[in-house]
Amino acid sequence: MDDKHSMEEGGRKRLSTALIVRRAASKRTAINEFQAKHLCVLARLMVQAIMEQSEVDSVADLSEEGWEAFTEMPEYEQFVLGAYACGFVCSDLIPNVDLNAVTLRPQEMLRETTLPQLRHYIHTLMRSERAGHGYGSVIYDALRAGVFEVVCERLEYGSDLYESL
């Protein structure tokens, strides 16, 4: 085993790349293309699953009271874990984006956001979801407002979010 990845004699500290860290990414950590695409796959699976379960054709037709069943779905849990795994929840961001403003006007608020702004929005959404666990779901509210379609469109087609080849 490479010395860089093994424990030094006497049990001294290992290098950070040799261990799984127990904290969210940093806002300074780059998001790669696969992480962005994966977050969109998870978001779309979550949206599709709740629409099928609720037997509706549009997210706007979802019931306001449907958040409890929604938060019990495996696709919801996969999206929540994925947001962390894909680097959209950060240990050094403050969750202070105005979620109500985004939910009321997702196109206007998100269509031209930068990657740091989009990341900050997802971070705030996830932290607020966690803080309000059992009392509603801001993820469900965002989903009903069409936010995830806008987020995914921005991540997939926003060429200004990607480094040039």
Determine the longest span between alpha carbons in the chain, in angstroms: 62
Q: Which amino acid is at 159?
A: S
Comparing CA positions, the residue from 137, 129, 143 lying closest to residue 81 is: 129
Q: What is the pLDDT of residue 18?
A: 86
- Mean pLDDT score across all residues of the chain: 92
Residue 17 pLDDT grade (very low, low, confident, very high; cuts 50, 70, 90): confident
Instruction: Give the list of residues 6+ apart from residue 106 with CB closer than 8 angstroms, or none.
Output: 142, 145, 146, 147, 149, 150
Instruction: Give the list of residues 6+ apart from residue 29 with CB closer than 8 angstroms, or none.
Output: 87, 90
Query: Which pair of tokens denotes residue 2?
Result: 């490479």
Contact 92, 26 (CB under 8 A): yes
Instruction: Give the list of residues 6+ apart from residue 127 with CB closer than 8 angstroms, or none.
Output: 89, 95
Give Cα separations from 54 to 21, 49, 59, 64, 136 (angstroms). Answer: 38, 8, 10, 12, 17
Q: What is the pLDDT of residue 5?
A: 46
Query: Which pair of tokens denotes residue 112?
Result: 């031209």
Comparing CA positions, the residue from 119, 105, 104, 96 lying closest to residue 36 is: 119
Picking from 13-22, 44-53, 147-156, which range would have the lowest pLDDT averaged per residue? 13-22
Residue 9 pLDDT grade (very low, low, confident, very high; cuts 50, 70, 90): very low
What end-to-end distance do the CA atoms of the chain give, in Å?
34
Query: Mind listing the pLDDT tens digit for each residue in 129-139?
Result: 999 988 999 99
